[in-house]
Amino acid sequence: MKQSKRSIQPISCEEALSRVFDFIDDHLRGKARIELEHHLETCRHCFDRVEFERLLKSRLRKLNVNVHSQKVRKRVETLLDQF
Ligand SMILES: [Zn+2]
């Protein structure tokens, strides 16, 4: 169990955030997922962002909102900008 984390390439916050939605949807696999998980362990900012997105998603789902609707997406993006 001595798999070194040195083999994991550090990714930027920008890169991490670009994978957040796939991660939450559980679509992220392999290296991309490991890199993101590693980033989240070390970056509080992105970790908070994932928690926020998760919460938001489950809320929207409970409200039965179609998250793929353009209108809703736009509103969510505006919300996130203010966050
Ligand atoms: Zn980060």
Rounded distance from Cα 14 to ligand 1 centre (Å): 7
> What token pair was written down for 34?
């490991």
Classify residue 40: in a domain, yes or no: yes
- Residues that place a CB less than 5 A from ion ligand 1: 13, 16, 43, 46
pLDDT tens, the chain, 83 aa long: 555 556 788 999 999 999 999 999 999 999 999 999 999 999 999 999 999 999 998 888 888 766 567 777 777 778 878 76
Encoded tokens for 5: 């984390």
User: The domain containing residue 70 runs over which residues?
Assistant: 9-82
Burial zone of 2 (CB within 10 Å; 0-12 exposed, 13-18 middle, 19+ buried): exposed
Query: How remote is the CA of residue 64 from the centroid of ligand 1, in Å?
Result: 30
Into how many domains does the chain fold?
1
* 9, 14, 28, 66 from 69: Cα distances, Å: 35, 24, 22, 6
Rounded-to-integer distance, Cα 36 and Cα 41, Å: 9
Query: Quick check: is 41 in a domain?
Result: yes
- In-domain check, residue 46: yes
Question: Is residue 3 assigned to a domain?
Answer: no
What spacing in Å lies between the alpha carbon of 36 and ligand 1's midpoint?
Answer: 9
Helix, strand and coil in the chain, % to nearest 5: 70, 0, 30
Rounded to the nearest angstrom, the distance between the alpha carbon of 62 and the centre of ligand 1 is: 28
